[in-house]
Amino acid sequence: MDDSAHTPTLWAVSDTEIVSDRDPSSGLALHRRPRTDFDTYIGPATHLADERARLTALTWEHFDARMMGVTIGAELSGIDLTVDLSQAVIDDLAAALAAYKVIFFRGQAFTSARHVAFARNFGELEVHPFIPSNTDQPELVRFEKDADTTGYENQWHHDVTWREAPSKAAVLRAVQVPEVGGDTLFADMYAAYDVLPPDTKADLDRLEAIHDFVQAFGRNVPEDRRAEMRRRYPEATHPAVCTHEVTGRRYLYLNRTFVNRFVGRTREESVAQLDRICRMSDTPEYQCRFTWEPDSVAFWDNRAVQHLACSDYWPETRVMERASIIGERPRR
């Protein structure tokens, strides 16, 4: 009888000496810190703890909320947005928006008219000059993507910062979505600012940025109307860091989509710093991600958050409609 099948396997013992009895991060400072060799931050996002605790303690009278990120995003349930809402419900929704920065809803079978009516509860609506509207509601811009018209919104941005008074909020509804893909991500611009070192904050607090529609929409403007559009929509100058009119908190207000340069600098002199600061949106700890279904709705604060639409569904079709609420001129 062969006894080899019953012989225990003898594993080689490593001669590697383990010199530490603690986790490598033990004893490091309890905050995010910049890498010395890369323009990135590593470490625990401890500056989010107070905001996370505040949000988790919130309760609401007219709906329930399930948080999606630690400081950003909540899915609200137990509310129907397709009917006329009382002022008390509207006020509760506005408070939730200020708290969570972006709020989400499922199963809201808006007609175009009801979509506009809901958004109008929160202010006057804008008409976008460079994106086609819904045919019967000019306040609704329609993003209709398919195999021939692909998505280029997959870059972090606030909407319409090229306006003198950019929108303060937006209500986006899914009309048709692919079975997989086409998610939208949102990033907390309070958190992105709060983590910065004091010297970086001091530098940014003094900066102003010049925003221009031409970078994103110039190619869509007929040549014979370009001078007219430039007169109607001149370059807009906004602070790099702004103070929110409702919360009083400071937030980053820079994006690669519409910012051309910093005041007093050329485009070439501005790009490196602009890119470095815009990378703050890439931080997963400051983000939430929403997977769409037909009749899902996202309602976001266009100052406190940036967003990015994943363009990973080609050649499938994705159709969305958005109503944007006119805001005030951003202030330092």
Choose the weakest-confidence range: 24-38, 67-81, 194-208, 269-283: 24-38
pLDDT 10s digits, 161-215: 999 999 999 999 999 999 999 999 999 999 999 999 899 999 999 999 999 998 8
pTM (two decimals): 0.90
Whether the CB-CB separation of 112 and 323 falls below 8 Å is answered with: no
Catalytic-labelled residue, pool 32, 158, 159, 194: 159
Tell me, what's the pLDDT at 30? 64
Per the annotation, the verdict on 205 as an active-site residue is: no
Choose the weakest-confidence range: 1-15, 65-79, 271-285: 1-15
Closest CA to 324 of 305, 307, 306, 300: 300
Tell me, what's the pLDDT at 218? 85
Structural domain boundaries of the chain? 44-326
pLDDT 10s digits, 224-255: 898 998 999 999 999 999 999 999 999 999 99
Average pLDDT for 37-59: 89
Backbone phi, psi, residue 121, to 5°: -60, -20
Mean pLDDT estimate for the chain: 91
Catalytic-labelled residue, pool 32, 211, 261, 322: 322
- 40: alpha, beta or left? (left if phi > 0; alpha if psi -120 to 50): beta
Catalytic-labelled residue, pool 115, 157, 173, 303: 157
Per the annotation, the verdict on 6 as an active-site residue is: no
Per the annotation, the verdict on 31 as an active-site residue is: no
Average pLDDT for 271-292: 95
CATH class assigned to 44-326: alpha beta
Per the annotation, the verdict on 157 as an active-site residue is: yes
Tell me, what's the pLDDT at 206? 95
pLDDT for 298 beyond 90: yes
